[in-house]
Structure 1
Amino acid sequence: MTTVVTEVSEADVRRHELAGFLRSRRERITPEQVGLVRGRRRRTPGLRREEVAQLSAVGVTWYTWLEQARDIQVSPQVLDSLARALLLDRSERTHLFSLAGSVDPAPGSDCTGIDPAYREMLTRLEPFPACIQNSRYDILAYNRTYARLLCDLDAVAPEDRNCMLLAYLNEDWRASVADLPGANRVMAAKFRASMAEHLAEPAWKSLLGRLEAASPEFREIWARHEVVGPANRTKIFRNARVGMLSLEHTDLWLGPSAGPRLVTYVPSDEESRQGLERLMASVLA
């Protein structure tokens, strides 16, 4: 009897490891985490292959071949899109590029995965309201005072925890912003500036379409084509529990400007400081 020995190359091993890694990351993500609607008949754990392809702006067949360990070429730009679509953290992103044998065009950058250390930092900042957002204004994590600063954020569906949606469509949020027209105009201008780098991405186009369909106010502002860069400024809130709060808004980028950022609100006067302490006490009560 003759034994046939099949030699497995390093490239074959890498492709199969990459296929398994992509599949495992895909299966851990819920549709709500990436702004998709969960269908009633969904049986697939996590995202479907076609959903990852859509979010990454690649072909479904091509992505399927990638998960099947086919011998195909993958560009750094496509890997970057996959890393963002699959919400990879820094270590996972590095692993992805290593398996693909490719050079990361943005080494050390984070996608939208939230490191546990950042969540601990949010808690330590209390009673100052703070959250982590991405450039699309999705609220990825937040502390307890931020959860009650503008509305009951815990009561908002995860797929709706987006500052743009809340500012234009959530009545509690809108009632809490003292200068709502000015704030919404600035937010739309920042969103337009950020979207210039993501025009072809389905998640961005989906959010824009939803805002245009649901808010005449947004449609009117969006038609002005105004753009503005990130800036820190004082914001006045009308909190339902403790009254008026004057807070200094600050963005701290946790990676490149297209990545996540830590948003904090620090009181600008003693009255607002005391107000935040009362807000924290009401949350704990």
Structure 2
Amino acid sequence: MSPTPHLNELGEFLKARRAELSPRAVGLPDSAGPRRVAGLRREEVAQLAAISTDYYTRLEQGRLPPSAPVLEAVAQALHLDDDQRRYLFGLAGKETAKPRRRARQKVQPQLRRVLDDLTATPAIVMGRRMDILVWNPLAAALVTDFAAVPEKHRNYVRILFTDPAMRTLYADWKGVARTAVAQLRMEAAKYPDDPRLTALVGELCVQDEDFRQWWAAHHVATLSVGTKVLHHPIAGELSLDWDTLTASTDPDQQLVVWTAEVGSPTHDGLRILASWAADQYQAIAEPAE
């Protein structure tokens, strides 16, 4: 099948926009050595859009009429503005209605109250896309200083794959990370038009081979219950049971808690960690002499 004029123009438009972007502009590491093409490579755009390189190549060659979801993913990957996006969708003969922006999630009051009362139990509230909305001091001491992570990057899956400390914190990092990818797949099924989720998947597909393979496997899982073993630098080895409580007023918000049997070594380790976290907080709160 020979390319139609509109699809030819669509391909040329994509190539021109790709040439304008540097890896750094889209959050990719600069590769060593000179690049043979200006801007991004085809495979980089494909990975950012979470589609195959062959599929994207055929788009640029005008050989394939793209679907609206693929156009949306490519528009996100290429950082197109509103006018460029309308033009792209027009060339493909698709509707240009932009996905509705969802309001920023606010932590449900009842979850906040429960979280504030959990002084001896690590807990976080997780929202859409597995974003971390709020946490208690013991959760920060257990996992990472969430406050030090920029809000737009405060996502559980992103932290798992981009923070090197996570790979030594979790005894079975691959098992934990593979399950998290399957849980993120479930989120993607609920919100297939979420541009932030599309951008997150594209970023991690480019940056991490494990994520790319596990995402392509299409396994799914729900956030429910389980056990994780952690090698913590302060508290030592901890075997923690985790459970979730879903807010009835917003099913997209879940309180995740880590607990241990009373009298167990892990329970004692949590008490040590809670004391350490309290000392750290006190040191920060007290003004220097």
TM-score bracket, shorter-length normalisation? 0.5 to 0.7
Corresponding residue of 1:172: 165
How far off is 1:117 after superposition?
4.4
- Judged with a 3 Å threshold, the aligned counterparts in structure 2 of structure 1 residues 166 and 120 are, in CA distance, closer, same or farther, namely same
- The equivalent residue for 2:13 is none
Which residue is 2:270 aligned to?
276
Q: What residue in structure 1 maps to residue 207 of structure 2?
A: 214
Alpha-carbon distance between aligned partners in 1 of 2:153 and 2:261, rounded to the nearest angstrom? 29
User: How many angstroms apart in 1 are the aligned matches of 2:208 and 2:236?
Assistant: 27
Distance 1:230 1:117, change over 3 A: closer
Say which of 235, 238, 250 aligns to 1:242: 235
Counterpart CA distance in 2 for 1:121 and 1:258 is: 16
**Partner residue, 2:39:** none
Corresponding position of 1:194: 187
Q: Sequence identity of aligned pairs in percent?
A: 27
The corresponding residue for 1:86 is: 103
In the TM superposition, what whole-angstrom CA distance separates every residue of 1:189-221 from its partner, at most 9, and x where no partner exists?
111122112111111111111111221121111
How many aligned positions are there? Answer: 186
Distance in 1 (alpha carbons) for counterparts of 2:159 and 2:109: 26
Contact 2:123–2:257 under 8 Å retained in 1: yes
Change (3 A) 1:227 1:246: same
Deviation at 1:257, TM superposition (A): 7.8
Q: Please say if residues 246 and 268 of structure 1, whose CA atoms lie closer than 8 Å, have aligned partners that are also in contact.
A: no
CA distance change for structure 1 residues 221 and 256 in 2, over 3 Å: closer, same or farther?
farther
Aligned to 2:91: none
CA shift, 1:258, in A, is: 5.0
Structure 1, unpaired ranges of 5+: 1-36, 38-53, 55-59, 62-77, 88-111
Between the aligned partners of 1:258 and 1:210, the Cα distance in structure 2 is: 27
Find the aligned partners of 1:190 and 1:177 in 2 and give their Cα distance.
17
CA shift digits 1:55-114 (9 cap, x unpaired):
xxxxx79xxxxxxxxxxxxxxxx9xx55xx222xxxxxxxxxxxxxxxxxxxxxxxx211
> Which has the higher mean CA deviation after the structures are superposed, 151-160 or 162-171?
151-160
RMSD: 2.5
CA distance in 2, matches of 1:256, 1:226: 28
Residues 231-273 of structure 1 deviation map (CA, whole Å, 9 limit, x = unaligned): 3111111112111111111011113785110000111462111
Measure, in 1, the Cα distance between the counterparts of 2:205 and 2:250: 25
Cα deviation per residue 1:21-78 (whole Å; 9 max; x = unaligned)? xxxxxxxxxxxxxxxx9xxxxxxxxxxxxxxxx9xxxxx79xxxxxxxxxxxxxxxx9
Look up the match of 1:154.
Answer: 147
Change (3 A) 1:256 1:117: closer
2:224 to 220, 224, 231: 231
- Secondary structure, counterpart of 2:252 in structure 1: coil
- Partners of 2:185 and 2:251 lie apart in 1 by 13
Farther-moved stretch of structure 1 (227-236 vs 191-200): 227-236
